[in-house]
Structure 1
Amino acid sequence: MENKYAQKLIEKIQKELLQNKFDLDSIINDLKKIREYSLEEQNPVVTKALRLAYEHLEANNAFLIGIPDDEPIHEDDQTEQNVSDENDIESFEYFLSLLHDLSKKNNLLDLREYNKAFIAF
């Protein structure tokens, strides 16, 4: 994301996660604010990813989506869900890191994979 306030909010969440602080309400509020900035940047993939992420957190009180596989599955019929039974902090940290540099094509591709996983969940 290009907006410096969005970057600061992402860094704030990442810093708290490094300190083993997973304050769900704070994270959800920060993601909602970051989404407002992404609306201004007019990036629909990121905007959707942020909305789906905070809705997922609200519904499950945890981040249960795993890191997308390196090799995408091309057969739509056999889509594997990469989900966890417990809070997947590593995946959430990766999700946040994707938001930092959207100029990398792979970051947007992984965000699309997260979007698919959120919807399939």
Structure 2
Amino acid sequence: MENKKAIKLIDKILEDLDKKGINTDALVEDLKKLREYALEEQIPLVVKVLRFTYEHLEENNSFLIPIPDDEPVDDSSETSNNNASDPVESLKYLIALTKSVKNKTNISDLREYRDALMAY
């Protein structure tokens, strides 16, 4: 996103997740506000992913979507992939993706999050 207030809010959300973990009340409010910035900037994918994310948080009191895989899963790499299923790490990754939507990898991962949230 280009909006300086949106970038500050993304940084605040990431910092809060580091300090407090998933505090759904504050987090949902911040995500709704961030979604408004995405609406202003007309980034439909981010708007949708953020809505699905805060609805998921409200329903589950946690973030149960793992980080999208970069490569095919290899049994030997499972130990290094423990962060993928950590709710805080996965949510931090999703929020960080919204910072730079011009990056094709970020768009691809956001689409994977969107699809996973829709399927959940």
1-side partners of 2:7 and 2:23: how far apart? 19
C-alpha displacement of 1:20? 3.2
Specify every segment of 5 or more residues in structure 1 that has no aligned partner in the other structure, as ranges. Answer: 73-82
Matching residue's letter, 2:53: A
1:1-121 paired onto structure 2 within 5 Å: 1-71=1-71, 88-121=87-120
1-side partners of 2:113 and 2:22: how far apart? 20
Deviations 1:85-121 (A, max 9, x none): xx61110111011011111011011000000000100
1-side partners of 2:113 and 2:60: how far apart? 16
Q: Aligned residue pairs: how many?
A: 109
Structure 1 runs of 4+ aligned residues shifted over 2 Å read none
Matching residue's letter, 1:68: P
If the length of structure 1 is used for normalisation, what is the TM-score?
0.84
Matching residue's letter, 1:95: L
Match of 1:76 in 2: none
C-alpha displacement of 1:9? 1.0
C-alpha displacement of 1:19? 1.4
C-alpha displacement of 1:51? 0.4
1-side partners of 2:109 and 2:22: how far apart? 23
C-alpha displacement of 1:21? 3.9
Specify every segment of 5 or more residues in structure 2 that has no aligned partner in the other structure, as ranges. Answer: 73-83
If the length of structure 2 is used for normalisation, what is the TM-score?
0.84
Identity %: 53
C-alpha displacement of 1:22? 2.6
Matching residue's letter, 1:90: E
C-alpha RMSD of matched pairs (Å): 1.6
